[in-house]
Amino acid sequence: MNVIDSIPIKGLRKSHLKQLAWCIQNTTQEGCYYGRKDYFMARQKDLEKLASKLYEMADDKDSVIASE
């Protein structure tokens, strides 16, 4: 069994975070989803909260992403 407790982002730039956040926020605007729509939309809401955090981190001039 693998336990996922973090996602490595070393070596990425803040622009990567912003692009990921944009992708998350624009998924449902295409009208695309998979699985049960109610479950998908619940996950989407959680991911949109994550996207907001990504934007906050990327816009924070004092934050940096560790290099590899």
Q: Please report, for the chain, the start and end positions of each structural domain, with discontinuous segments joined by +.
A: 14-59
Rounded Cα distance, 28 and 62, in Å: 32
Residue holding tokens 């934050």?
A: 63
Residues 53 and 7: their CA atoms lie apart, in Å, by 15
pLDDT digits (tens, 9 = 90+) for 4-39: 888 888 899 999 999 999 988 887 666 677 788 899
Single pTM value for the model: 0.74
Q: pLDDT value at position 6?
A: 84
Cα distance between residue 57 and residue 34, in whole Å: 29
